[in-house]
Structure 1
């Protein structure tokens, strides 16, 4: 059969030792056998060498063995050379079998095993592994030696051979054996030796310039049916007035020269039916033959010049594994069956057979293959299939074997081994039924089923298959999602399910109104494009081979990513005509503002903008509502103001498809100023886009209070003074901080003025974040880039400053990120009329819990909500704090004077129950909360 041989010593050592141990263990115990087992507690070098009381060393057995006896080496490790000096007879030879190795002790000279001055000794099924500079086996003045079915290896430091035959030895017959010399020659014959046969064997050397078989001055050398594997060395070298023949050999094309016969031997050596291939294109000195000092690169050239090699082949593939043989190989049925020394079996003990698919071009019987191996009937089981492929125990299964039978050999039957401990079953057909009664305990919960096919010619072949047999259990689908780095709304869905049965398919509803999708198989992957940002409920219905179905749902969010602006542009100022006409907005008036495509904001892909809207010169109390242009105006408010005051509020508002937002004034007339602080893009998380950031709400924390010295300054900010504060550069487990979300409060102002908040070190702009008047306490939400810290600059009068951190925008860092989903504004709570809460004012030191998930379009699993929070008509000075529940933070969102109405934009974390909490410090106050959008974990990148 075809096989592949590795040249590495490590691989060869492992293979030979494993094979050796198996062979030794299989030997029969006979009365004529002496045993060597150093691991036995009963071993003794004084005998008797029985199975129960073996010798400890191989040398003790060698010194005791008598003609007709066999020495079985079970666990024999030699600390020095082993010498066989006792002889057998022609009718009763001495035999050594088993495994012999030596300790890697530097300085060991000679060979691991030496037959010295002895006759009629057989080395049969012997495995030797010599290290430490020792050769494997040596023959010194030895006659009538048979080496068969053995493997001899020499590896380690120093140049040593596999088999050394000295010049005084004769009648040596080597058959069906393998030799490996890591440094040296596989088989070496010294001058003077005679009648040496090497047949049906494999010779390999692992180092360059080594020799497979090196014979010098050998009389009657017979080399037949040998495969030689060598790299850049010589395959066969016959020198020193040698005589004999070389036939049916196959030599590796990688050798420098395949066959070398010196001038003084050329007249006495015959060569034919060999397979040699030279490749002079890689080295001009490569040759198939060096005969009598003349180089030849082809068999035709060699035959024409010498008359030798008439039937030689030089067609071995240069790039094929050597000497792998398959049907059609020129090595098959092309050898000389009558070659001197040729054996009736190959290296594996297999008989010569006729390949019916290959013409018989050899001599004699015409069925002898060249090289060490005889290609056998390739009858085998190519596949073993199960129906069903898996299921819970007890599981009835039909096992079917597919047979590869290129020789059309009559099949006599099949043997099935189910791998579950039950007896094997024989059958005359390749299909059989079997019930696996118990779950498989092996890794993966599988049984391995082995089927053996039997041919009429005595050949058998095997094949295996696996069947997964588990315990009864439910069908449990699972969905996984990943977003694309190039297509914002394209999501990859990975479908899987756990079941003791094979999962047969999935049906998926992506929850966006698109047609359901059917996919076969246990783990299909689908790509789906959603209509745009949003939270969608995806439903997967899985089916299995047991006829069951089960459904799983999972929400997938395509969020928007936030880009803060270092220099917030002013897009509206009705006092001077920026962004529109120069005029106040009257009652019921609407101002339309172009935001997408304006002043550095992208023209496309903008989902929402965050802008600071300030009312100035109001003629009466009123409210402003922000909403996307072209959509219905919601019944909510973003900015509540009083006549004679200046009131800012941060607004996050969706943008229409054509890039506009509208500001609606409910009553009176008022000037409006709008400064954009950042925008949300309609792209999901993209780790390769450093400009995209995502929000992490935190527990509100006070970082500046100039009234008491928090943040480093215990004094009001004077006109033109800036206070600088540093923020963390990185959020552990998330990414680099891009911007901070701050609640900024001005109180105790000596005159009207405004605060601008800028990135540290940047040029101040005309955009304002917080406008106030003398004696007025005003707060506003601010989003500011903080890569170099933030500076808070007062532009008029003196004023105390309070700063509370509400959260951070960060660049994607591999952790689950949250995306913002803007919604059409809706009113969550209004305590004035009982919307979403009892119809009563919020009292002192009291809290109001507001349900936010599972309502108004906010899905369960949202991490935070953005809302416009308004305190209305407080009867005492107070403040409101919005938080997720639990321990109340010391920070505030809105500071209210008696009778004051103030709004503020707040992004509030949601607790595990889907609620937020609003706290009132003092007096009573009505609370209005208008939902603007929410944050939710977005589908991760692949």
Structure 2
């Protein structure tokens, strides 16, 4: 039923210009609107309201709401689609005027919208025009699920129903509904260009008493009891309809009706006649005896294509007499002088050379200048004009159109180059009817179109750089046209557009996913000139960016591991020239606080290895690259140390914790891990030792988490002096609640803190635990000590209400000290983490890290560079994650670790006792020169080891 598409060579788009309708039927229907407002109905819009005024921004939700307030000259735009039909029985009782009719339209506002659908309820028509005049309803689709009445015109005049569609599957049982009904008190009604699919008993039905009804140019399919049924209606014109009626009468007039029946095509197809048909032998045309004297019938087509096995079927019934052929009808009645039968005519555009072409009566009442698809009535130059009058319409509702073929070579050549760019374009096109053609070439740069006769190439020069669309339109004298457009003539600039690229880590709610990059690719100065862009992320992967460079784009990328990556944007323009831009992204880790749990307790044999899976350490979640562990050793059979390292790598000569018989030791440490891998814990002792392992934190590059904020060490608690609010030793079994949030630069919203906790002047052996204040779920072990020993351990502990609790697990008193090292929290101003393979960067016994073999003297300090080696960047480092060891000291004391270039704080970083090796973690803020200082506060020189576990860098890192 669609117009044949013009043959345009390769991938050509053709636009056929529709003709302009000359009027409606006999001119008795309502005129086009002169002026007025627009009311909108759109139930799919959340802002719709039936209590509003029907604006586009706040439309009505129901059609009835608009019908209740519409004024003369107004147009009601009904928007929607088949997925959200308007299931309501709408009744219009408001009228327009002759010069300001009311219009209801379901036409979409844009090509992306579909025609609105009204669903007919079972109890009443979907639309009733009741007692109105000067009303037009157009471009609406009706869903007739109940096979009931769909559109009813009652007591109304000067009404036009145009381009309506009734859709539903054909009924399988007898039904009684009517698609479009005009009652006996209505007059001057035009029913035009509608498509009525199988749904009801009647397509169009006009009741006794109606007057001046025009039924024209409709497509009507397989109604059960009649396509167009007129009864007792005066001056009714039935013109140029195509009625597919395999079972029922196609067009009938009875009850004393008067009017004209012309240019119609009634079609039957025997294979479609089934037992569901009400009257499979019904004639295609029927006029009763009480109407024949007032009805003129001519130029109609009876396409009776029934197989021999089908029931007998006549073409005409006139005054009760049946006529099997049009010849018999003409001879018997004097009517149908120009009727045609004996042909195949399916409900589609007539095939070329069909007798339907150019054979209708152009002067028939109600004849329109366009067909049911609003295409113009045109003169087919391949067919003799056998109809009457001018305009040469085809019979039925569909008009055969000319086919215009535009040659595939009608494209701009060359399609691209530097401005000024001269192009030429062929103008080869033909008409299947041999019509004379003219062309108009619009070059898209604001210049006047070039016009002429096809066959001669046209030239043009683009003087200004830009991307242009050329259009060439071919038109024949009757207005039929075909158009081809070429979007992409590029007159390039002298230099290609520059590329630009920047990147930032992904942040949300104060946290960072430190390995997730958000790139920004701004729009270039001449975005039209960019053909495509590729972003290589520097890790072996890349993305092709959207071709549209008009707006900035923000591609993202998740890096698989921490590291420094150079991303490259390669931009190619329409002329094949490339430009590039680079940026550096530092993929790193952020800290995920976890509730400490002792994940495993095992005894490791002398020189044995305990393998710990990532799942055991809770490191099998997104992007975890390192875990922070607490190790507690007991039941040691000999002196020694544990070495912690990634499984599958060479065991380093580093120490995570030192132990000896008869003593329990504790220390926190960091180790690299992969979500599918494991870590090894090696016992370097000649005797077995039991170890308890707890995970106290994770470092992930793929989770939103916290950055680290190192500080110059500061004392928060010292019960010897009353610092922190408690003075005097803390008794065995007693606790101290220590505020940490909101003091010494730690914000109240910090998620975790790093503390060096110390027990001194101890009266009995024991240990210390550190817990969150508001919950007992987060508890870590502090130092273990023997009577009289000073012991220090660094701990990481979550903070929920800004406070932590230190509990003396000993049976006797001890003074407690807590020194702030840093905190984890908001990304702003923080540092991201880069794990490292364990490496010894200081050993005073060998000169590693200092350049000379010498113990660290009592009350002396050494400088240790922590940047520029072992994978640590040379700049931007804010802190080093170290394990410090003092082997077999010759006296008591402690180390103070602090940033170089700052005043030495009075804090404990690692306490040691004469003859007992001490080891422990130290997160140490780095000086601006990349160095840290280690001060020996003891009374004797000591050897010192420092093992690097990772580094913290400025967030966001800069190149």
TM range (shorter): 0.5 to 0.7
Residue 597 of structure 2 aligns to a residue whose secondary structure is coil
Q: Which residue of 2 aligns with 1:823?
A: 836
The match for 1:745 is 757
Deviations 1:176-223 (A, max 9, x none): x968899x9999797898xx9979x54699999999684755789775
Q: Which residue matches 1:676?
A: 693
Structure 2: distance between partners of 1:717 and 1:185: 95
What CA distance in whole angstroms lies between the structure 2 residues aligned with 1:846 and 1:137?
A: 102
Match of 2:230 in 1: 238
Counterparts of 1:371-450 in structure 2, within 5 Å, are 374-379=399-404, 394=419, 396=421, 398=423, 407=432, 412=437, 414-426=439-451, 428=454, 434-438=460-464, 447-450=468-471
Who is 2:708 aligned against?
697
Q: Secondary structure at the match of 1:476?
A: coil
Matches within 5 A, 1:749-898: 749-757=762-770, 768-783=781-796, 792-796=806-810, 797-799=812-814, 800=816, 802=818, 804=820, 806-808=822-824, 822-826=835-839, 835=849, 852=867, 855-858=869-872, 867-868=881-882, 870=884, 879-881=896-898, 894=909
Whether the 8 Å CA contact 1:203–1:212 is kept in 2: the answer is: no
SS in 2 for 1:353: coil
Match of 1:377, SS state, is coil
Cα displacement (A) at 1:905: 2.8
- C-alpha displacement at 1:231, in angstroms? 13
The one of 661, 678, 687 equivalent to 2:680 is: 661
Q: Deviations over 1:393-420 (max 9, x none)?
A: x463758689997848678454222333
Conservation of the 8 A alpha-carbon contact between 2:361 and 2:387: yes
Counterpart secondary structure, 1:568: strand
3-state secondary structure, aligned to 1:651: strand
The offset of 1:337, in angstroms, is 0.8
Cα contact 1:697–1:909 (8 A) shared by 2: no
Matches of 1:710 and 1:280 in 2, distance apart?
Answer: 103
The answer (yes or no) to whether the contact 1:414–1:429 under 8 Å persists in 2 is no
Distance 1:469 1:756, change over 3 A: farther
Aligned pair partner of 1:567 in 597, 619, 644: 597
Matched-pair contact (CA < 8 Å) for 1:616–1:671: no
Alignment partners' CA distance in 2, 1:640 and 1:669: 13
Q: Give the CA deviation at 1:611.
A: 3.1
Q: Does 1:475 align with 2:475?
A: no
Preserved contact between residue 595 and residue 601 of structure 1 (Cα < 8 Å): no
Q: Label 1:362 to 1:935 Cα distance change in 2 as closer, same or farther (>3 A).
A: farther
Task: Provide the rounded CA distance (Å) in 1 between the counterparts of 2:458 and 2:102.
Answer: 46
C-alpha distance in structure 2 between counterparts of 1:101 and 1:192, whole Å: 20
The structural deviation recorded for 1:651 is 1.8
Cα separation, partners in 2 of 1:349 and 1:929, compared to 1, 3 Å:
same
Q: Structure 1 residue aligned with 2:264, among 259, 273, 289?
A: 273
Partner of 1:594: 611
Query: What corresponds to 1:337 in structure 2?
Result: 360
Correspondence 1:449-598 to 2 at 5 A:
449-455=470-476, 459-467=480-488, 474-476=497-499, 478=501, 500=526, 502-503=529-530, 536-539=565-568, 541-546=570-575, 547-555=577-585, 557=587, 564=594, 566-572=596-602, 578-581=603-606, 590-596=607-613
**What's the Cα RMSD here?**
7.5
Normalised by the size of structure 1, how large is the TM-score? 0.56
SS in structure 1 of the partner of residue 380 of structure 2: coil
SS for the counterpart of 1:415 is: strand
Question: How far apart are 1:612 and its partner, in Å?
Answer: 3.0
Q: CA deviation at 1:249?
A: 0.8
Task: Extract unaligned runs of 5+ from structure 1.
Answer: 5-18, 24-70, 78-99, 115-125, 139-150, 167-173, 318-324, 441-445, 573-577, 582-589, 687-692, 729-735
The answer to whether the 8 A contact 2:599-2:695 is kept is: no
Alignment match, 1:37: none
Change beyond 3 A, Cα 1:647–1:696: same
Q: Work out which of the residue numbers 232, 238, 255 in structure 2 matches 1:264.
A: 255
Distance 1:389 1:770, change over 3 A: farther
Instruction: Structure 2 unaligned segments of length 5 or more: list them.
Output: 5-18, 23-30, 38-70, 77-91, 105-128, 141-150, 167-177, 289-303, 326-340, 507-512, 742-748
**Cα distance 1:822–1:248, how it changes in 2: closer, same or farther (>3 A)?**
same
Preserved CA contact (<8 Å) 2:380 2:433: no
* 1:809–1:204 CA distance, 2 compared to 1 (3 A): same
Cα distance between partner residues in 1 of 2:277 and 2:904? 86
Tell me how far apart the structure 2 counterparts of residues 410 and 136 of structure 1 sit (CA, whole Å): 44
Distance 1:229 1:757, change over 3 A: farther
Distance of aligned partners of 1:129 and 1:713 in 2 relative to their CA distance in 1, 3 Å threshold: farther
- Partner Cα distance (1:908, 1:127) in 2: 85
CA distance in structure 2 between the aligned counterparts of 1:197 and 1:599, rounded to whole angstroms = 83
2:148 counterpart residue number: none
CA drift of 1:423 comes to 2.2
Q: Mark the CA change 1:785 to 1:625 in structure 2 (over 3 Å): closer, same or farther.
A: same
Alpha-carbon deviations, 1:803-843, whole Å to 9, x = none? Answer: 74844599xx9x99998653222356789958489999899
Please give the per-residue CA displacement for 1:719-770, whole angstroms capped at 9, x wherever unaligned: 3446678999xxxxxxx99x845324023333332224567866899x8442
Aligned pairs for 1:316-335 (under 5 A) are: 333=356
The residue aligned with 2:157 is: 164
Q: TM-score, normalised by structure 2?
A: 0.55
With over 3 angstroms needed to count, the CA separation of the structure-2 counterparts of 1:314 and 1:555, relative to structure 1, is farther
Paired with 2:563 and 2:673, the residues of 1 have a C-alpha distance of 15
Measure the CA separation in 2 of the matches of 1:761 and 1:553. 45
SS in 2 for 1:567: strand
C-alpha separation in 2, matches of 1:102 and 1:216:
31
User: d(CA) in 2 for partners of 1:540 and 1:387?
Assistant: 31
Give the distance between the partners of 1:843 and 1:235, measured in 2 at CA.
Answer: 113
Matching of residues 623-638 of structure 1 within 5 Å: 625-628=643-646, 631-634=649-652, 637-638=655-656
Contact residue 604 and residue 683 of structure 2 kept, 8 A: no
Which residue of 641, 648, 666 maps to 2:666? 648
Shift of 1:233: 13
Q: Contact 2:496–2:579 at 8 Å: present in 1 too?
A: no
Query: Contact (CA 8 Å) 1:821, 1:933: kept in 2 or not?
Result: yes
Cα-to-partner distance string for 1:335-384 (whole Å, 9 max, x where unaligned): 8514843758436694433397xx99997899744555634335387999
Asked if the contact 2:882/2:950 (under 8 Å) is kept, the reply is no
Distance 1:209 1:436, change over 3 A: farther
Structure 1 residues 532 and 399: alpha-carbon distance in aligned structure 2, compared to 1, 3 A threshold: farther
1:251 touches 1:258 (CA, 8 Å); kept in 2? no
Deviations 1:582-633 (A, max 9, x none): xxxxxxxx44222227967689998655333467799999876543466445
How far apart are 1:263 and its partner, in Å?
4.1
- The residue that corresponds to 2:949 in the other structure is 932
Question: Match of 1:249?
Answer: 241
Contact 1:724 1:790 in 2 (8 A): yes
**CA 266–506 in structure 1, closer or farther in 2 if over 3 Å, else same:** closer
Aligned length: 753
